[in-house]
Amino acid sequence: MAATLDNKKLNKTLKIFAVAQAGLLALLVFMAVNFQGKLQLLGRSPQFMSGVIAASVIQLLLFYPIYKFAAKEVARDLALFGSTPTPEESKAYNKKKRWSDVIKMAVFGFFSIFLLAAPSDPLVLSVIYYSFILTILTYLQSYNFAAKRLGRGSAGKA
């Protein structure tokens, strides 16, 4: 019975992530149009694609660490499904959860400070912004992929 409830919880989390991804994608497109307009006003419209390419390269470099991080989070979340953890397991789970939250806040803080400290050049701001949104989207997609992959594996064992 507990496994069914936890699978419902996981499915609910995945649905929330899907809604968040749709919102972030809309925000990404909206800001891309705004940055393109600003660069056109400055007469630097060819640099728009340079910003998109730079953000894509940064995202390619960050993809594997983000994927591994998300996969570890899913494995940690799925490990507790269908079982009642002992106090020691619960303490270890909470410690790992706390550290993953600290890492997420540190990444958010890094991008926020980097964005505030960056020059007001639209090209630089666009690369930072695109990288930030793409990092969040990559994490959410990786979490979804790992949850579905690992969820199928644990469902087959039951």
Q: Is the model's pLDDT at 152 over the cut of 90? A: no
pLDDT band at 1 (very low <50, low <70, confident <90, very high): very low
How many CA atoms lie less than 13 Å away from 83 in the CB half-sphere?
Answer: 13
pLDDT in tens, 18-55: 999 999 999 999 999 999 999 999 999 899 999 999 99
Is 151 in contact with 3 (CB distance < 8 Å)?
A: no
Confidence at 9, pLDDT banded by 50, 70, 90: confident
Are the C-beta atoms of 65 and 73 separated by less than 8 Å?
no
In this prediction, residue 118 carries a pLDDT of: 87
User: For residue 96, what are the domain limits?
Assistant: 2-157
Q: How many angstroms separate the Cα of 122 from the Cα of each of 35, 42, 67, 109?
A: 6, 9, 29, 21
How many structural domains are present in the chain? 1
- Is it the case that residue 140 has pLDDT exceeding 90? yes
| Selection from 136, 76, 74 nearest residue 105 by Cα | 136
Give the model confidence (pLDDT) of 78-103 as tens digits.
Answer: 877 767 888 888 888 889 999 999 99
